Structure 1
Amino acid sequence: MTHVLKFDFGVGNPESGYTKITPAAEYDKSVGYGFSNVKNVHAKDRDEPSALRRDFCIPLDTSFLVDVPDGTYRVSILLGDEIAETETTITTGEGRLVLHKQRTSAGHFVRSSFSVWVTGSQLKLTFTGRAPRINALEIEPVPTACTLFLAGDSTVTDQPTDGYPYAGWGQMLPLFVKADAAVANYALSGRSSLSFIGEGVLDTIWGKIKPHDYLLIQFGHNDQKPDEARFTEPFSTYKETLKIYIDGARERGAYPILITSVQRRFFEEDGTLRDTHGDYLIAMRELAAAEEVPLIDLAASSKALFEALGPEGTKRLFMWLAPGEFMNFPDGVEDNTHFQQQGGIEVAKLVHAGLKDLKLQPLSLYLR
């Protein structure tokens, strides 16, 4: 795909050069685009002069799917309503947050742009919110756009949509990146720095990363696990394994960034946070200094955040869910390692702040 795809949503006549998408436009593989489910898609025509603003679709709990080759795309979306307030949240792929509770007042419109790393030959935009709208959509290939590749574990990964509100911080990071760059989240649950390589995931990244991209690396949670496939010793094999990531990125003209493991939610009686990563944090800091690699000390910043919130306040960040609170967890759950969506957002904010503090160029230009 080398041209720009343009879609005009609603029931009125389409804007010149745009393809009209009505509420009945269900995805058809032979056409290559459409809504995943049209049962709760509605439309209104406000009979205003502008073809893109006069009408729109109300996409309730559905996804708009577009078949495109794998790669990076800049997506621009027009949202608004002439007579009503709106609120729209959009995720891409498996719940990767790109627009969060975007509100417009009556008579106002917002054009939002973001870049998306597409795999599986399909762009997926999922809509939620109290009053979602979509007026127009444009999709443009941007193969030279900078990409932030993420290598890590379950605290970073894109958690599946059927596990909502379960979320990794990498899943929320696109919210803090401008449209000039995309986030490619290859982090996977249960992986250590060693098993990520052993399962070939790092090789997948090597096949896609290009000069001037960035590789963000957070491992440690599962390097502590005693099994042979995952365990590394902090001051020997852990450092040696992480150096494979550093050297591989540099060999390909990309820039590695090390990130110490985000803290777990374990408190001492005095209200301070108990460190569960120990020597792995020290080892990564030493390696960053020795190899002159930029470091985000997420262990330190998350410790400060969690201690400020305290044992009760942190429950709203972690997967502490009451029975019946969320449909996907009817019996509730108490998890001190993994985040719900709000926790993923708050930790992504810490990573975003850490990236800005590094003052790396041109990376700083891509951060909101």
Structure 2
Amino acid sequence: MKQNILFSLLIAGWIPAAGLSAQTYDFTFAPNKADKGSTTIYITPDSLYPGEGHFGYDLIPAPDGKSDQPFFFSVDVPDGNYRITVTLGSKKKAGLTTVRGESRRLFLNRIPTRKGEFKTFTFVINKRNTVIDGEEKVRIKLREKNKLNWDDKLTLEFNGSAPCVANIKIERADNVPTVFLAGNSTVVDQDNEPWASWGQMIPAFFNDRVCFANYAESGERADTFIKAGRLKKALTQMKPGDYMFIEFGHNDQKLKGPGKGAYYFFATQLKTFIDEVRLKGGTPVFVTPTQRRSFDENGKILETHEDYPDAMRWVAQREQVPVIELHDMTRTLYEALGVETSKKAFVHYPAGTYPGQTRELADNTHFNPYGAYEIARCIVEGIRGLNLPFAACLKDYQPFDPAHPDNPDSFQWDDSPFTEIEKPDGN
């Protein structure tokens, strides 16, 4: 019986015969009997990853059909961009569903459905593993070993107070521009609550005609990003018409010694990014570093990045690279929030807020989900200001003024099941 199931899945194209190849999947979670000859895969509580088909519920126990707990669903696919079509809703109950992918990249936030109502949405997600070519791999950090961004599976998270999913369709999407993100902990896809960064929020603002691929990692400088093979790996997926957003300077300023500095060593690394991206037919875009939450006695943000933002501007002018002035926008944003309220954009939580948290968290560099969302809105304004072509892919977007931030008390976020007390690398 097991061999017959395996053979049927193989013939239908749901299991690669030898290694991974691009597949189209159509998963349904509705409790109906499959039609004869249907190519739909019916998911039951026993469909656990990896299983015979290399797909299924993952990471935490499968939903039991009675409670409203979140769940993860994974499927093995090759590297690349995938168009995900999800149908949310249930015949049995009302739902409120948040959809994230890989390492907590936000795509759909708190979508309501009435009992018997179904809503369908489409977005594009990038999946990758560590392999560059042959035996050469990205040298990821120890803390990245379990990161969902660096494996062979595409993972979707369905969260919310009542997640209701009827169907998931996954198909290859090679015909959309990709925006690769290179940066540090202020950009990276943070895996665990309460940490977050703008790179994992920005996909939620765009439709399925553009894809964001976040290669950033905590603690990285421009030179270490290159040395670890992160740039080289991104270039294996880059095609003409793609983009790379490059935000460094935050950790680079800590590198001291002869031959270092903003206008020599750092500028040289930036030039490497420019040349390599352009060689692949892509467009480099500089993002000046986010401000730290560091106020003077008058409630004004202190400049803590030395001459690194200016060095980025200097290289950009010389090389004709577009610049998103996140450095300036975040100064405006934090000053508008004020000394105390701005804490609500960062990881500032009293002891006991999260499991195992025995001490207060007071981090003035790294964002919580609200802060990351506001920074992402700043990035979107930068994209619109530069009139980049994929700005046309924004969905239902309302213009944002950093001088008038959203009310942090009105921001709603469904916590993922995983938390981490240790702060990300970098400061």
TM-score for the superposition, normalised by structure 1 = 0.90
CA drift at 1:197: 1.5
CA 1:304 to 1:137, structure 2 compared with 1: closer, same or farther past 3 Å? same
What SS does the aligned partner of 2:157 have? strand
Alpha carbons 1:24, 1:38 under 8 Å: kept = no
**Which of 173, 186, 194 is matched with 1:142 structurally?**
173
Q: 1:350 to 1:142 in 2, by over 3 A?
A: same
Within 5 Å, which residues of 2 pair with 1:1-368? 1-14=21-34, 16-36=38-58, 39=61, 41-43=63-65, 60-82=69-91, 84-119=93-128, 120-161=151-192, 164-226=193-255, 232-327=260-355, 329-361=357-389, 363-368=390-395
Provide Cα deviations, 1:122-171, integer angstroms capped at 9, x if missing partner.
1101121111111001001112321110110111111223xx11112111
Aligned-partner residue type, residue 241 of structure 1? Q
CA offset at residue 228 of structure 1?
A: 6.4
Deviation, 1:333, is 0.8
Report how far residue 302 of structure 1 moved: 0.8
Unaligned runs of 5+ in 2: 1-20, 129-150, 396-427
Deviation at 1:39, TM superposition (A): 3.8
SS at match of 2:285: strand
Identify the range of structure 1 (193-202 vs 294-303) with the bigger mean alpha-carbon deviation: 193-202
Provide structure 1 residue ranges, at least 5 long, that are not aligned to the other structure. 45-57
Report the more deviating stretch, 254-263 or 206-215: 206-215
Does the aligned pair in 2 maintain the 1:209–1:254 contact within 8 Å? yes
Deviation of the 1:266 alpha carbon: 0.6
C-alpha separation in 2, matches of 1:114 and 1:323: 37
Summarize deviations over 1:268-302 as a string: whole Å, max 9, x none.
11111111113111121222222111110001111
Give how far 1:37 is off.
Answer: 5.5
Shift of 1:356: 1.5
For the 8 Å contact 1:22–1:43, the answer to whether it is kept is no
8 Å contact kept, 1:26–1:38: no
Percent identity over the alignment is 36
Give 2:97's aligned amino acid: T
Distance in structure 2 (CA, Å) of the matches to 1:252 and 1:31:
35
Which residue pairs with 2:12 in the alignment? Answer: none
TM-score by length of 2: 0.78
Partner of 2:420: none
Q: Is the 8 A contact 1:8 1:14 kept in 2?
A: no
- Within 1, Cα distance between the matches of 2:25 and 2:90? 23
Deviation (angstroms), 1:3: 4.5
Q: Which has the higher strand share?
A: 1
Q: What per-residue deviation string (whole Å, max 9, x for no partner) do you get for residues 12-32 of structure 1?
A: 224643111122322234221
Say which SS state the counterpart of residue 41 (structure 1) adopts.
Answer: coil
Q: 1:250 to 1:39 in 2, by over 3 A?
A: closer
Displacement, 1:40? 5.2
Shift of the 59–8 alpha-carbon distance from structure 1 to 2, 3 Å rule, reads farther
Equivalent-residue separation in structure 1 for 2:116 and 2:196 (angstroms): 34
Question: What displacement does 1:67 show?
Answer: 1.2
> Cα distance, 1:246 vs. partner?
1.0
CA distance in 1, matches of 2:337, 2:284: 31
Deviates further, 251-260 or 169-178: 169-178
* SS in structure 2 at match of 1:150: strand
Distance in structure 2 (CA, Å) of the matches to 1:258 and 1:328: 38
Give the deviation of 1:99 after TM superposition: 1.5
Residue 50 of structure 1: aligned partner: none
Name the amino acid aligned to 1:7: F
Q: Would you say the 8 A contact 2:186–2:218 is kept in 1?
A: yes
Supply the AA of the counterpart residue of 2:246.
Answer: I
CA–CA separation in structure 1 for the residues paired with 2:154 and 2:197: 20
- Provide the alpha-carbon RMSD of the alignment: 2.0
Q: Distance in 2 between matches of 1:245 and 1:190?
A: 18
Number of aligned residue pairs: 351
The verdict on how the C-alpha distance between 1:228 and 1:81 changes in structure 2, with shifts beyond 3 A counting, is farther
For 1:215, the aligned partner's letter is M
Question: How big is each residue's C-alpha offset from its partner over 1:192-212, in whole Å with a ceiling of 9 and x where there is no partner?
Answer: 112212222212222221111
Partners of 2:260 and 2:255 in 1: how far apart? 9
1:340, CA displacement in angstroms? 1.1
- How far apart, in 1, do the equivalents of 2:60 and 2:366 lie? 33
Paired with 2:76 and 2:358, the residues of 1 have a C-alpha distance of 35
Q: Alignment partner of 1:135: what SS?
A: strand
How many Å separate the matches in 2 of 1:225 and 1:140?
A: 43
1:83 Cα deviation after fit: 5.7
